[in-house]
């Protein structure tokens, strides 16, 4: 007996329109970047997407859910924000943090971050997502674990706390709209991972 054999009565009626879904997510990402999480409107998204409001409300309960889905689909954050992997954990983290801090100097990038943070504070789901996936759980923590294993980082380093401190520092700077200065990434890594072991 396969799992497909006992099917539900197979609902009638039109099926969800993928075109509408795409248009909505697209418009959401644009409004998010343009107006920011707080100041974007469902009505604006609907109209920009050429879609009835109800089509949004049918599938997403809140603005937060809409943004979450955009976030999960990678429509909100530029590709350059993924942690690179060259084998050298410390160098990769430095590159990554540098990119983020540089992004913060540009008003658009700044708006993106602050909007993301606003979304996270308004919406538990997004907050959780940010904590879990933007770095803490996945990429960053994994690379840290790999770094410990490879002997590049001190054994016994508390991974979660290290990730939190790194991401957190970046967020604090985003909120403060602090412009990047040379060496920022280095200093931050020195604080969080300990001073660099140079030559012996």
Partner DNA sequence: ATATAAGCGAGACGGTACGTCTTGTCTTGTC
Partner DNA sequence: GACAAGACAAGACGTACCGTCTCGCTTATAT
Give the interface with a second copy as residue ranges (CB under 8 A): 36-38, 113-115, 117-118, 120-122, 124, 127-128, 130-132, 136, 157-158, 160-162, 164-178, 184, 187-188, 190-192, 194
CB atoms within 10 A of CB 90: 17
Q: How far apart are CA 144 and CA 163, in angstroms?
A: 8
How far apart are CB 174 and DNA at their closest, in Å? 23
Residue 74 contacts which entry, a second copy, DNA, none (Cβ below 5-8 A, type-dependent)? none
How far apart are CB 75 and DNA at their closest, in Å? 18
Residue 87 contacts which entry, DNA, a second copy, none (Cβ below 5-8 A, type-dependent)? none
Instruction: Report the residue number, 44 or 127, with the smaller CB distance to DNA.
Output: 44
How far apart are CB 101 and a second copy at their closest, in Å? 11
In this structure, are residues 180 and 104 in contact, taking their beta carbons and an 8 Å threshold? yes
Which residue do the tokens 């030559």 mark?
A: 199
Instruction: Please give the structure tokens belonging to residue 149.
Output: 């294993």
CA distances (Å), 111 to each of 14, 23, 32, 53, in order? 39, 22, 9, 26
Instruction: Report the residue number, 58 or 187, with the smaller CB distance to a second copy.
Output: 187
Q: How far apart are CA 119 and CA 65, in angstroms?
A: 10
DSSP states along 70-137 = HHHTT-SS-GGGSPP-SS-HHHHHHHHHHHHHHHTTSHHHHHHHHHHHHHHHH-HHHHHHIIIIITTS
Tell me which residues in 41-80 interact with DNA (CB under 7 A).
41-44, 50-55, 57-59, 62-63
How far apart are CB 154 and a second copy at their closest, in Å? 8
Tell me which residues in 127-156 interact with DNA (CB under 7 A).
none
Tell me which residues in 6-45 interact with DNA (CB under 7 A).
9-17, 19-21, 23, 41-44
In this structure, are residues 166 and 134 in contact, taking their beta carbons and an 8 Å threshold? no
> Interface with DNA includes 103 (CB under 7 A)?
no
How far apart are CB 66 and DNA at their closest, in Å? 10
Binding site for DNA (CB under 7 A): 9-17, 19-21, 23, 41-44, 50-55, 57-59, 62-63
């Amino acid at each position: 007996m396969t799992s497909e054999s006992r099917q539900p009565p197979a609902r009638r009626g039109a099926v969800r329109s993928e075109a509408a879904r795409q248009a909505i997510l697209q418009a959401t990402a644009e409004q998010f970047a343009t107006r920011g999480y707080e100041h974007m409107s469902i009505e604006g998204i609907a109209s920009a997407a050429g879609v009835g409001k109800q089509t949004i409300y049918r599938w997403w309960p809140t603005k937060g859910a809409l943004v979450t889905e955009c976030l999960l689909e990678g429509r909100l954050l530029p590709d350059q924000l993924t942690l690179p992997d060259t084998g050298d954990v410390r160098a990769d983290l430095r590159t990554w943090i540098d990119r983020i801090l540089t992004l913060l100097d540009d008003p658009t990038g700044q708006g993106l971050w602050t909007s993301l943070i606003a979304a996270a504070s308004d919406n538990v789901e997004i907050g959780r997502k940010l904590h879990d996936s933007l770095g803490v759980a996945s990429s960053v923590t994994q690379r840290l674990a790999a770094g410990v294993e490879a002997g590049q980082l001190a054994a016994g380093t508390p991974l979660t706390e290290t990730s939190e401190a790194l991401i957190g520092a970046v967020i604090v700077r985003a909120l403060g709209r602090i412009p990047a200065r040379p060496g920022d990434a280095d200093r931050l890594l020195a604080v969080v991972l300990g001073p660099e072991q140079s030559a012996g």
